[in-house]
Structure 1
Amino acid sequence: MPRHTKIVATLGPASSDPAVLERMLRAGVDVVRLNFSHGKAEDHIGRARLVREIAKKIGRTVAIMADLQGPKIRVGKFAEGKVMLEAGQPFVLDAGRVELGDLSGVGLDYKELPRDVKAGDTLLLNDGLIVLTVTAVRGEQVHTVVKIGGELSNNKGINKQGGGLTAPALTGKDMEDIKTAMSFQCEYLAVSFPKNATDMEMARQLANVAGEPWRHKPGMIAKIERTEAIPQLEAILKASDGIMVARGDLAVEVGNAAVPALQKRMIRMARSMDKVAITATQMMESMIQNPVPTRAEVSDVANAVLDGTDAVMLSAETAAGKYPVETVEQMVAIAMAAEQAEETSLDADFVNKTFSRIDQSIAMAALFAAHHLGCKAIVALTESGSTALWMSRYRIHVPIFGLTSQPVSQHKMALYRNVRPHLVERIEDREAALANAEQLLVAQGFLKPGDTYAITCGSPMGHPGGTNLLKVCRVADEGR
C-alpha cells in the first residue's frame, strides 16, 4: 500500500546542500517549509529555486510553504548572553530598558507586555521551561518572582498562561515577507498566532495583492498556537485552507496535558470542513542529535497519522539536525506502518450526509464505488484540485490520483492526504482525456491490464467546479 500521509520538512543549514536536499526529496518529502523567523529574503528565494529545480530533476511534485514569523513576543538581550535564574528571586521585564539585561532584569522586544498583564498572572519563558509570577506592574516595568528557574538567554519567547497577549498576528516584517513569498509563488502561506478569522482574511488579502503580478493565490494555513484561537477554531477554518496544530506555543499557553485532545479535535474538525491539517512541533526531536527516534516519538507520529492528519511536520530535525535524511526516512516508515493498521469506515461516514453540489456528490460517489468494487485507483481530472481534496477527507485505502493541467493545483495537491498529483496536458475532448489518463497510470505502473478504476471529470472539460461525470473502467487485457 502506498503512503497516504504527507511529510513537511523545514529547510535550514542542515538541508541547504543540494545533494542533501535531493536525498530528502527522494526519501519522501512532499512539502518544504521555509521558516521566515530565520534567514534573509534572498536565502528563501534561493532555497525555493533549488527546491523547484531538484523536484523537476527527480520527477516529484513538491509544494513550498512559507511560514511567517509573526509578532516577536520575546525578551531582549543580556550583557553576557544569558543568566541563570533561581526560584524565589525577583526579576523585572522592562519595556523601557535600553541597556543589556542582567540578573535583575531584561528589556523586551514586545513593548505591550506591561499593558497585557496584571499581578497574579503567570508568564512562561523559553517554551515554558522558566515560569515567572507577576507581582506588580509599574509603568513600563513588569515585576515578577521566579517560580521555576533555569537558564534564560537572548531573545527567548514569552507566553502568558491562559493567553491574553494583544500582539497582532501580522507585523510589518510579515507584510514584507509575504511579498518575498509571492515572488516565488509559494503554494501555501502559514500565518503565525492568528486569534480569529479576521487575521486570516487580512493575510489572504495581502497575499492575493502581492501575488497579483503572477496571478497567484496561495493556500492559507492558520497556525493554531494561541489560547484565543481555540473558541474561534471553526471561524478560523472557514477563513483558511487548512490549519497547523502548532503544539509548541499552544502547549505553553493551554498546558501540555490539554494538547493531545485538542490535536484530535482540530484534525477532526478540519477534515469535516474539507480543510487540510498539519501536525507539527517536536515530532522527532531526539533525531536532531540521534540517528533513531525514541519509542515515544514513534507513537506520537503514528497517533497523528491515525487521527487522520494530512501531514506530519519536521522542524529543527531537518533544518539544523545531524540526520535530516534519516529523519525523513524514519517518519515515512512510521506513517506507512500506522496507515496499514487504520480501519476504514466509509459506509458509516456517508450515513446522513447530504451534498448540495454536483461536483462534491460525484466525488463521494467515486469513493463509494471504488471502495465496494475493489478499484485499484481513483482518478480525478480536476482544474482546481477540489475534487481530489474532497475525496481525500475520507479514509479509503485506494490511491487517489489528481490529474490537472494547472501547475498551481498540482503543487497544492501535494499536501492532500492520499492524493498523488500529476501535471497533464489540457485536452478538450473528453474521451481523449480519459484515455490519456489511463495511459499515464498504466505507463507509470499504477494500473495494469484487468485492473478496475474510477475516474471523474467535467463535461464540458476544463471548467473549475464542473465535475459532473463518474465512470468505472477496466484496463483492457493485452492483445484484446
Structure 2
Amino acid sequence: MNSHHLLLEEPIRMASILEPSKSTFFAAMTKIVGTLGPKSRTVEIISGCLNAGMSVARFDFSWGDAEYHQETIDNLKTAVKSTKKLCAVMLDTVGPELQVVNKTEHPISLQADTSVVLTPDQAKEATSNLLPINFTGLSKAVKKGDTIFIGQYLFTGSETTSVWLEVISTWGVRNNIDFLSLSYTRHAEDVRQAREFLSKLGDLCQTQIFAKIENIEGLTHFDEILQEADGIILSRGNLGIDLPPEKGLTPLIKILTTSTQR
C-alpha cells in the first residue's frame, strides 16, 4: 500500500503522529490535540482544524453516546480524505471519580452553609440535602476534617466501569483508536489493568495509554505511573481543586521536567 493510499483510506492507527516533525523552516515540535464537541464536529470545522495543525482528535465520552461520537468520527474521516492531513484518534473515558446517582431528569441545587448527606444507598432519591453515590467505601476512605469537593463530574451517576469497558471494546475497536486517555489515574496498577484489557481486544493491542494526572493520589504515585504509561496528561483544572494555589506550581514543574527527561 503506497503512502498516498494510506493517507486517504487509513487515517487511524498512527501513533507515530506524536513523533517530532522533520526539520522545516517552522519546525512543529508540539502536537495539537483537539476535542471534537458540539460546535466542532462538522466536516467543515474539522477540516479547518486539520489545516490549522490538529494532530490528534479527542473524543470525550464523559458526555454523548456512542452513536453521537460515531457521526463525529465519520466526519473526521471525511475531512481527512478531503484535506489529505493525517490525524490520530484519542478516546477519553470517565475514570474512577465518585458520581452522584441522580435518576431524575431534574438538576440538583446546593445551598451554601447547609448540610449534605452522602449515602451509598443508590435507591434513595437525590435531593439538595441527600446525595446517593456509587461508592460503598466512602466512610473508610475519608476521615473527620477532610474536604470533599462536589463538582462537574458528580451529577450523572448512570455510568459504571462496565459501561466504559464496553465503550472501549465496541466503539474503540470499531474505530481502531490510537490513544486511550485514562482519566483519574491513581497508580501504576490502573495503567497495567488498562493495558491488559486492551491486549485482549486484538486490534487495540498497540493502542497507547496516556495517564491523566488529576488528583493528589495521582501526583503521589507519579513516578511509578510514568514508568507504565506511554504518555502523561496533566489536568490542571482538576488538580487545582485538590491542591492549594500556593502549592500547585511546584509539582507541575516537577512532572513536566521528569516527563521530558524520560
Q: TM-score, normalised by structure 1?
A: 0.45
* Matched letter for residue 147 of structure 2: T
- Specify which of 134, 137, 141 is matched with residue 109 of structure 1: 134
Q: Pick closer, same or farther for the CA change 1:80–1:45 going to 2, 3 Å.
A: closer
Assess if the C-alpha contact under 8 Å between 2:43 and 2:78 holds in 1. no
Q: Pick closer, same or farther for the CA change 1:35–1:73 going to 2, 3 Å.
A: same
* Shift, 1:35, TM fit: 0.9
RMSD: 2.5
The residue number in structure 2 matching 1:5 is 30
Secondary structure of 1:14's aligned partner = coil
Q: Pick closer, same or farther for the CA change 1:95–1:260 going to 2, 3 Å.
A: same
* 1:21 counterpart = 2:46: yes
* Matched letter for residue 228 of structure 1: E
Query: Based on CA coordinates, which of the two structures has the bigger radius of gyration?
Result: 1
* Shift, 1:2, TM fit: 3.8
Q: Pick closer, same or farther for the CA change 1:107–1:22 going to 2, 3 Å.
A: same
Secondary structure of 1:66's aligned partner = strand
* Shift, 1:97, TM fit: 5.3
Unaligned runs of 5+ in 1: 129-152, 157-169, 274-480
Q: Distance in 2 between matches of 1:60 and 1:79?
A: 41
Secondary structure of 1:33's aligned partner = strand
Higher percent of residues as strand: 1
Assess if the C-alpha contact under 8 Å between 1:178 and 1:206 holds in 2. no
Q: Distance in 2 between matches of 1:229 and 1:259?
A: 14
Correspondence list, 1:143-292, <5 A: 154-155=155-156, 171-179=161-169, 180-210=171-201, 212=202, 214=203, 216-273=205-262
Assess if the C-alpha contact under 8 Å between 1:127 and 1:252 holds in 2. no
Q: Pick closer, same or farther for the CA change 1:31–1:259 going to 2, 3 Å.
A: farther
The residue number in structure 1 matching 2:75 is 50
Unaligned runs of 5+ in 2: 1-25
Q: Distance in 2 between matches of 1:7 and 1:188?
A: 14
- Specify which of 120, 129, 136 is matched with residue 95 of structure 1: 120
* Shift, 1:109, TM fit: 3.2
The residue number in structure 1 matching 2:20 is none
- Single out whichever of 180-189 and 95-104 deviates more from structure 2: 95-104
* Matched letter for residue 194 of structure 2: A
The residue number in structure 2 matching 1:61 is 86
Q: TM-score, normalised by structure 2?
A: 0.79
How many corresponding residue pairs? Answer: 233
* Matched letter for residue 187 of structure 2: N
* Shift, 1:106, TM fit: 2.2
Q: Distance in 1 between matches of 2:77 and 2:116?
A: 49
Q: Pick closer, same or farther for the CA change 1:215–1:10 going to 2, 3 Å.
A: closer
- Specify which of 75, 86, 103 is matched with residue 100 of structure 2: 75
Assess if the C-alpha contact under 8 Å between 1:127 and 1:249 holds in 2. no
* Matched letter for residue 218 of structure 1: T
Q: Pick closer, same or farther for the CA change 1:206–1:258 going to 2, 3 Å.
A: same
